[in-house]
């Protein structure tokens, strides 16, 4: 809410105050008809307690426990930590039917994605499947969202793999690298749990939406570029993620004879054929699902179908003997709120952080790496008609069955098909329409968006994320220290005051300067307001004296 030198809300009292204070300016401040009363004085401890409560416990989470017997408080406490104890009492066969269908649908999508995302994190494929087995079970018991689907995601997998390979070589020191990934997962979960337990989830909101749009778009391009190794069948590929290093690896010839004009690339045409064919198939199915919402299941099962067909083709043709690389044998709160709004129910961001943190802590102890909410899977889960978090349990059981029975069959799965699946999955992260809208609305937000985007694409994922955070905080500080202000004038024949730039017919009150400040006024911006409008008020008073 904006602050004004004079109350310009349009009420009768503000009109009287404005007309009274518009009297002849004599160079001295005249006492207004109305005086602002001081609030009742409070004790320091009471004032501090109220401030803490307003900051961290504005929703009064302990309200349901008031005036309840001890046994009821225990039940409410358990339901607060494990929401499944609450909604589970009303579970029925009709809901189970919807959850089973949704669970089977997202399982068909998550299995091939998990294998690809694990390779993106420089981990063996089974660890991606583990991460869609244990964490979803924990979240189903502790999470409050009915629609979110848990598992590894592309951006987190890339970020984890990029950061860890700078410390430990994932090829030469494979076992040490794997342990480090689980350790990183443990501390990521611990951080999430602490933020949620101490109700510090609001810290995440300091990262602006524009910066997130830019970061996600840059990450999508970076992830796609990383898949060129498997898509083109390149063996010697850079460990760096910036676009310049990747392009050098892609176009580096293995044989060059300028005299004979002979250039041999390290590409494999059979691999390219497989990758291009199935990428086209995946993109076509996504288009079909987008055009006809009833066919949402088509793009959902397309990745698993692609894996099965490509694996069978490689097996019967023994394309792996001709250079086609194969998989070695046995090798995100905003989302929840988005789907909660669609179904008109509320989720607690801090409880979500506790649930996500708990599942990653437990997951790190059971050979899982960082898992979170997947937007693509959650969208499929929502459209498949999920009713509760039981859909996550169904998905988890299917993944467990896959680990037990089907995993050895993935021995001949070509890396090109995994690359195609990942590319088709992350393309949707490039939201150019949102970037154009940001440009039209706020140029400063657009700078934050592009800063994060180019930081990820041309430097690294972590630098891009750092730029996104830095620009977001810089914008917050700029808006606080240099808030938007507006001179207000009176609309003719009304008691309404509006911005004189937006309403040319609004007239300024002689001898009175009415300013709206779109920010709380305190030490960091008080001088700015004084310097910006003090001289104008002085000039008005001087002109009034001469008249």
Print burial letters for 171-204: b (CB count within 10 Å at least 16), e (below 16): eeeeeebbebbbebbbebbeebbebbeebebeee
What's the whole-number average pLDDT of the chain?
Answer: 78
Domain regions of the chain by residue span: 100-331+333-478
Dihedral over Cα of 488, 494, 496, 501: its sign: negative
pLDDT at 108 over 70: yes
| Closest-CA residue to 284 (of 295, 270, 272) | 295
Span 391-428, pLDDT tens digits: 899 999 989 888 887 766 666 778 788 888 888 878 87
Lowest mean pLDDT among 33-37, 173-177, 337-341, 512-516: 337-341
Q: How many whole angstroms separate alpha carbon 30 and alpha carbon 28?
A: 6
Section 79-100 average pLDDT:
88
From residue 435, give the alpha-carbon distance in Å to each of 205, 431, 460, 478, 510: 19, 7, 21, 21, 44
The pLDDT, as a whole number, for residue 483 is: 85
CB atoms within 10 A of CB 259: 5
Query: Is the pLDDT assigned to residue 356 strictly greater than 70?
Result: yes
321-353 pLDDT, tens digit per residue, is: 655 565 543 735 555 555 555 555 566 677 888
CB neighbours of residue 206 within 10 Å = 12
Non-local (6+) Cβ contacts of 192 within 8 A are 353, 354, 356, 357, 360
Return the pLDDT at 325: 60
Q: How much is the pLDDT for 11?
A: 41
pLDDT of residue 59: 66
Q: Structure tokens of 513?
A: 């300067």
pLDDT at position 138 over 90: yes
Burial class (CB in 10 A: 0-12, 13-18, 19+), 416: buried
Please answer whether residues 497 and 506 qualify as being in contact, where contact means their C-beta atoms are separated by less than 8 angstroms. Answer: yes
Tokens of 290: 């987008």
Which letter does DSSP use for residue 405 in this model? I
Q: Residue 517 pLDDT more than 90? A: no
pLDDT at residue number 396:
92
Taking the CA of residue 480 as centre, how many other CA atoms within 13 Å lie in the half-sphere pointing to its CB?
A: 9
Cβ(483)–Cβ(530) under 8 Å?
Answer: no
């Amino acid at each position: 809410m904006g602050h004004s030198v004079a109350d310009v809300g349009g009420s009768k009292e503000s009109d009287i105050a404005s007309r009274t204070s518009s009297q002849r300016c004599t160079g001295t401040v005249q006492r207004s008809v109305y005086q602002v009363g001081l609030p009742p004085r409070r004790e320091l401890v009471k004032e501090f307690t109220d401030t803490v409560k307003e900051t961290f416990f504005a929703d009064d989470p302990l309200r349901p426990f008031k005036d309840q017997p001890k046994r009821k408080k225990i039940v409410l406490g358990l339901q607060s930590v494990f929401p499944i104890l609450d909604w589970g009492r009303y579970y029925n066969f009709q809901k189970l039917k919807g959850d089973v269908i949704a669970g089977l649908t997202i399982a068909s999508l998550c299995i091939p994605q998990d294998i690809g995302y694990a390779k993106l994190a420089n981990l063996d494929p089974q660890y991606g499947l583990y991460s869609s087995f244990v964490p979803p079970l924990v979240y189903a018991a502790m999470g409050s969202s009915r629609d979110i689907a848990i598992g590894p995601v592309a951006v987190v997998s890339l970020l984890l793999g990029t950061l860890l390979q700078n410390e430990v070589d994932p090829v030469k020191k494979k076992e040490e690298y794997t342990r480090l990934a689980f350790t990183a997962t443990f501390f990521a979960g611990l951080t999430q749990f602490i933020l949620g337990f101490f109700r510090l989830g609001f810290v995440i909101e300091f990262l602006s939406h524009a910066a997130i749009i830019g970061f996600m778009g840059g990450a999508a391009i970076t992830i796609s570029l990383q898949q060129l190794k498997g898509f083109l069948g390149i063996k010697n590929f850079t460990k760096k993620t910036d676009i310049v290093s990747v392009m050098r690896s892609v176009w580096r010839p293995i044989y060059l004879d300028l005299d004979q004009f002979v250039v041999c690339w390290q590409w494999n045409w059979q691999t390219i054929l497989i990758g291009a064919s199935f990428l086209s198939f995946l993109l076509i199915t996504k288009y079909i699902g987008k055009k006809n919402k009833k066919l949402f299941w088509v793009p959902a099962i397309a990745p698993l179908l692609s894996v099965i067909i490509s694996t069978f083709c490689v097996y019967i043709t023994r394309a792996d003997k001709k250079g086609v690389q194969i998989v070695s044998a046995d090798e995100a709160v905003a989302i929840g709120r988005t789907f909660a709004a669609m179904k008109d129910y509320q989720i607690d961001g801090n409880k979500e952080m506790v649930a996500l943190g708990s599942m990653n802590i437990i997951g790190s102890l059971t050979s899982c790496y960082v898992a979170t909410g997947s937007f693509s899977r959650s969208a499929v889960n929502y459209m498949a008609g999920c009713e509760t978090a039981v859909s996550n349990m169904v998905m988890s059981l299917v993944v467990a069955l896959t680990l037990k029975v089907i995993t050895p069959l993935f021995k001949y799965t070509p890396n090109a098909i995994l690359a195609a699946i990942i590319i088709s999955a992350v393309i949707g992260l490039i939201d150019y329409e949102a970037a154009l809208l940001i440009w039209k609305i706020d140029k400063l937000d657009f700078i934050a968006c592009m800063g994060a985007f180019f930081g990820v694409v041309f430097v690294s994922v972590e630098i891009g994320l750092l730029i996104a955070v830095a620009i977001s905080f810089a914008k917050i500080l700029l808006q606080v220290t240099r808030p938007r202000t507006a001179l207000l004038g009176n609309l003719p024949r009304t008691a309404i005051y509006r911005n004189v730039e937006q309403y040319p017919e609004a007239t300024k009150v002689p001898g009175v300067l009415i300013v709206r400040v779109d920010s709380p006024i305190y030490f960091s911006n008080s001088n700015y307001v004084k310097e910006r409008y003090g001289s104008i008020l002085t000039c008005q008073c001087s002109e009034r004296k001469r008249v």
